[in-house]
Structures are given as structure tokens and as C-alpha cells.
Structure 1
Amino acid sequence: EVHAPILGLWGVKMVVVSVFLAFTVASIALSTRIEAGLEQQIVLPRDSYLQGYFDNTTEYLRVGPPLYFVVKDYNYSSESRHTNQLCSISQCDSNSLLNEISRASSIPELSYIAKPAASWLDDFLVWTSPEAFGCCRKFVNGTYCPPDDQPPCCSPDEEPCGVNGVCKDCTTCFRHSDLVNNRPSTEQFREKLPWFLNALPSADCAKGGHGAYSTSVDLNGYESGIIQASEFRTFHTPLNKQGDYVNSLRAAREFSSRMSDTLKV
């Protein structure tokens, strides 16, 4: 008896419709500011034992989740440019994948990448270098020679011996004259990669790949010159909020898409 007559007035109708349209337009305009995700503290009861955990995570967490960049169908042959498009040491392209990851880590507030990626490829190329005397070594018969501090340092066809045995006969895998532009050839790469992935770090050579890169390279069918899949590992910055997690995922996907388009890998 009160509201109906008032709402029936023509002027009131126009005001109601105008207010409704104004709120609708404002809601649409402000919808772009809505952040994806829902803070975990909100969905829990205030007295939940997890509230303290999430509060401590927000305040004290100083490391983010791991981030893996996976490269498929890496052609490691000498004729391919893939190696220079991926690595970050001498002779590598300035816009290589690992160099770009390193640059992205210098602006973590945008990329959410905390540090340069750990690269099995860089470490492998350094490990096979003649300058790294304590790294890639072989016996006189061409078989793998372990580091001096990892006995038994013996050839498979010899009796058990100690560090002072046949280790003294070990030499570096390659001389400079054996390499092409200081890089292993396709055959050398194929032969020495399993050595590297099984090599333990030692006092003389910290570049051994066992442990750090044991699962980083898929060796199935690699003899053909193509590594079907390999990964380069880094870490996100601390992701204390749901918004940080969503933004880091978006940034990582945009970065990987851009690198795939640029390098065609």
C-alpha cells in the first residue's frame, strides 16, 4: 500500500532503471580489476589450525616452487643450431633460452623467476672441455675413469686397486684438436652424455651430472641424434598469495610461448 504506488510513479521508475543501469555499467567496468584465485584463509574457519600455517607461510616463506622449462626434440648434432640456441656459455647465442631465463630472473617482480636455470647442457659442455682436467677422464683403453677421490679407480679388466693404481694413467677425454670449435662432435656427444649423467661430483670436478641431472634428460632413442625431452630447472619467487601463484603461472606460460616462437624449439 505504500511502496507500490511510489514505485508506480513514472519519475521513480526512471530513477530505479537509471540506478540499475549505472550499477551494471560500473560492475562491468570494474570486473577487470577482479583478481583470480581465492585466499585460502578465507575459506577456512577462523579457529582452524591451518590459519596459523598459512599466516606463517605468508610471512616467512622465502623460496618458491620449482619451475621446469622442457625442451622437446633437441638436435645435438654438430650441424644443428639447437645447442647454441639453448646454452649460455661461450659461443652460445645471446638470446638463447638459458640467457633469456637469466635475464628474466633479474626482474623477478615481473617474471616471478628467482634465479638462472640449472643447465645440464652447460655443465656437460664444461665437463667435456679439455680445461676441466679433473672432469671427463678415460683409461688408456678408452673406458670411463672415475675421479681420484672415488675409488676403486680401476679399469674393468683389472684386479681391484686403490687410488694410487691405474688412476695415474687416466687422461682427459679430449684434446683441443679432437673437438670442433671446442665443442664435442655428434659422436662424442652421444658417447659421453651417459658418462656425464652417471658422474658423481668430486673435489676436482663439481660438474658431475649424477644427482643434479639424473632425471633431466630422456635418453630413450637419443642415439639417433635427437633428445626427445630434457628439462632446465629454476625456481619461482616466493608465492605467498593466490594472486602471486596465478600471475606466476601466467608469466611462465607467456615466457615459454615467446621463447618457443622466437627459437622455434
Structure 2
Amino acid sequence: MRKQYLIASILSWISFVAGQYGTTTTGPEMATSSPTTSHSASSSTQTVDVGEHGFTFDPDTLNVAAGDKVEFHFYPGNHSVVQADFSRPCHPLSDSSFFSGFIGPTSGESKTVFTITVNNTDPIWYYCGQIGHCQAGMVAVINPPTSGSDSLAVFKAEASNATGESVPFHVQGGTLSTESATTSSSPEATSSPTSTMSPTGTSSSSPSPSPSPSPTTTNSAANVRAYHDRHAMSICFFLVACFLM
């Protein structure tokens, strides 16, 4: 009887251990994520030819939506583009007014392009900062007023009577780029109406670091179950050995 009771106890204990550790299985967890779709708002670009037909911007009037861009393409004559105040033609609106620098191809259209982004629909008056060009009528406007007395004709008339002209010290407020990235010719010579013009500095952007992969998460449930199974079998062998002794 004592042996039968001991055997029944061992079998009951083994069934209990198996129920706790050996019969429960967990399936692999599957994490799903919806792909993220990025939508970038597209912007349109309008073009202005600078000096193609003498002391002119063509066209000299543009209507540009907020967020859109304007590209200035330059022709011979060593021209520039400078933002102005309507009440003070031929001079920068402020210290932060956009300025392309002086770009003077010897023939044809320059490969250098100056691009600005229009942030709102307020009027933007501008002129060429080369000596005498503003007074000769080389002025233009982006988003002219729809009412009031401010007009391009008035701005041009005021510019013709302006005393002198001035430009910012550096290229600013826009982006200078070349239309052909494969050209091997030297940069086009540019000159300034004054001897204090500083050369344009170039900036380079650091490469974006590549994202490191996330460490892989391992499921340790199987290892835990294996450990408990080995531990249970060791106890069983120990009890059997005690019984046989």
C-alpha cells in the first residue's frame, strides 16, 4: 500500500507540473503597423527674365500664391534683383531684403538662377541694383495692390527720380543655383557697382545620419518552459530513486 500510495503521489505531482509548464503554448506575437504615407504640398514656380530686353524684368508683374516660388533668370548687363520699399525706390526695403548679387553672363542666358519663396500675398516691389538701371525703369512687382494709389506705374515714376541706388552687402533671402550640375566651366564673373561687395559664401549640408536598426526583441517564454521541464524531470528522477532504495 505504501508503494502504491507513493507511486500515485509521484504520478499526480508529474501531472500537476505538466499542467503548469508543459501544456500551455503561446503563439508568436505579430506586430503590424500601417505604412506611413507622406504627402508633400507641391508648389508652382514662375519665371522672370532679368535684362533680356534691356533694362526690363519680363514679366514685370506677377501674381504668386503664398508658398510658391519665383525664379530669376539673368541675361547680359550685370543685373541683380533687390527687394525695395514702395516709398523709397532703388534702395533695399530692410537689412534682410532679398538680393541676388550681380550676375553678368557674357552672352545668352546665365546658368545661375536666383529663386525666392513668396510667403504671403503682400506686394513685393523690387529693382535692379546696377548703377542707373533702377532709374531707367528696371523695376517690377509681385502681387500688386488691387486697390489704392500704389501701382507699378507710380513706382517706376518715383524710381526715375530716385537719388542713387544701394544694395545689401551679401546675397540673401533666396537661393542661387545652376541649371546644369554637370557643367565644368568656371563660374561666371560678377561685378558690383561698389567695391565693398562681399563674395557669396557657400554652405554645405552635413549628410543625414542613417537610422540604426532597432535591436531585435526575443521571446524568452520557450526558454522559461524548458527550464521548468528540466527542473520537474530532475525531481521525478530523485523521487523514483528514493522509492527504489
TM value normalised by structure 2: 0.25
Q: Could you say which structure has the higher strand fraction?
A: 2
The structure that is helix-richer by fraction is 1
With structure 1 as the length reference, what TM-score do the two structures score? 0.24
Between the two structures, name the one with larger relative contact order (CA 8 Å, sep ≥ 6): 1
